[in-house]
Amino acid sequence: MGARSSHAAVIPDADGIRRETGFSQASLLRLHHRFRALDGNNKGYLSRTDLQQIGALAVNPLGDRIIDSFFPDGNQRVDFSGFVRILAHFRPVEEEDPAMRDPKQPEPLNSRMNKLRFAFQLYDLDRDGKISRHEMLQVLRLMVGVQVTEEQLESIADRTVQEADEDGDGAVSFLEFTKSLEKMNVEQKMSIRILK
């Protein structure tokens, strides 16, 4: 029993999080509410199992990879600030003049570069800054399951790496990745709008 209020005093370091992620106070409250709903036994942090309980995420072919992105560097727990930091990548980009932005401030988490970097990391499992042919195959296998044969998948992986690879090292670096997606409306496709 007892109330489950989500006002700002309950969120640790709310101001710091707001500055870092750019979320409004209202959005932060909603995300905190969601965090506490996912945290089944009120531990104060989320574990992998908490996220795996989400049915709609478990049926997503890349579900496990997405969950992994919340637990970098071998962590087994993610607290609220870590949670929000990842979600901040998907904050819609506001219309602002890039020239106006203070160059001393770190790049906002939801910039185009950071969104692309997030997607790149879903491919680049070993975090070596390059998507090798093997890593490409692994992601493809996740997305198609048993529906496609090994040869078909290999030729798709080969072709994709060849098309994107410019310096001929047989892998796709982050720069090559961004170049092949330069026309893509990343800002819109990798954004989730939280209702006010």
List interacting residues with another protein (CB under 8 A).
1-7, 9, 26, 29-31, 33-34, 37-38, 40, 51-63, 66, 87, 90, 118-119, 122-123, 139-140, 143-148, 152, 155-156, 158-160, 164, 172, 177, 180-181, 183-186, 188-195
Cα distances (angstroms) measured from residue 32 to each of 4, 55, 103: 11, 20, 30
Rank residues 20 and 57 by Cβ distance to another protein and give the closer one: 57
Nearer to another protein, 3 or 100 (CB): 3
How many Å apart are CA 132 and CA 135, to the nearest integer? 5
DSSP state of 108: P
Nearer to another protein, 97 or 150 (CB): 150
The CB-of-100 to another protein minimum distance in angstroms stands at 26
Shortest Cβ 40–another protein spacing (Å): 8
For residues 191 and 91, the answer to whether their CB atoms sit within 8 Å is yes
- Whichever of 72 and 102 has its CB closer to another protein, that residue is 72
Contacts of 183 (CB under 8 A, 6+ apart): none
Written as one letter, the residue type at 18 is: R
